[in-house]
Amino acid sequence: QVQLVESGGGVVQPGRSLSLSCAASGFTFSRQGMHWVRQAPGKGLEWVAVIWYDGSKKYYVDSVKGRFTISRDNSKNTLSLQMNGLTAEDTAVYYCARDSSYGAARIDHWGQGTLVTVSS
Amino acid sequence: QSALTQPASASGSPGQSITISCTGTSSDVGSYNYVSWYQQHPGEAPKLMIYDVSKRPSGVSNRFSGSKSGNTASLTISGLQAEDEADYYCSSYTSSSTLVFGGGTKLTVL
């Protein structure tokens, strides 16, 4: 069965960096687009970024452009999110999610999420 | 990249039917049949309930159905049950090759 396990969350000071990882298993990772979606405490879901199955295309929500970088290692079945210049508005649970297509069409599986708290 | 518009809350009694709307624009919902609906219980990850406007993943009850007209998609839950009480989110593919979510609807089963 599809498993997505995020790691790397924690407490970080404003302006600092943090890197999230997602270990994927139970499917052919190199054939699927992958997303990061976040949810601030008590708020709704916000799509953050997507990377195509082969890493050839990457798209971001405007609020993280230039600060966040999504990447993948198909040899290790791993998805990553490098987050720089963090602010309090980035505090959220970050979900790794699989797209059922090679790019971005629909998320069909989600990880359990990892909490990122930006605070001094 | 504006969020899709959903009602903040909805409610119904057990056994009733309820419909949740999701309004977008001609750059997302209106142009693509890549509308999905997710159910999220407190403290849990979202779960896919409907994809491609009206398709149900294996294992999802047929009490859940989806439709679309113009820029508005809808999720209908028939025969409401206590376990259906949750937050529901719609999402759509967009012309920018991204996804966008709705603000979420809190469903209360009275």
The secondary structure of chain B, three-state, reads CCCEECCCEEEECCCCCEEEEEECCCCCCCCCCCEEEEEECCCCCCEEEEECCCECCCCCCCCEEEEEECCEEEEEECCCCHHHCEEEEEEEECCCCCEEEECCEEEEEC
Query: Is a pLDDT exceeding 80 seen at residue A22?
Result: yes
> Average pLDDT for residues A6-18, to the nearest whole number?
97
- CB < 8 Å to A108, chain B: 48, 51, 57
- Chain A nearest C-alpha distance from B101 (Å): 6
With CB atoms and an 8 Å threshold, state whether B93 touches A105. Answer: yes
Is residue A74 within 8 Å of A29, Cβ to Cβ?
yes
For β-strands A18-25 and B86-93, DSSP reports them as unpaired
Is residue A25 within 8 Å of A3, Cβ to Cβ?
yes
Cα dihedral across residues B44, A114, A82, A45: positive or negative? positive
Query: What pLDDT score was predicted for residue B62?
Result: 96
Task: Please write the tens of the pLDDT for every residue from B54-65.
Answer: 999 999 999 999
* Nearest residue, CB atoms, B52 vs list A106, A110, A113: A106
Rounded to the nearest integer, the mean pLDDT of chain A is: 97
Which of A9-13, A24-28, A100-104 comes out lowest in average pLDDT?
A100-104
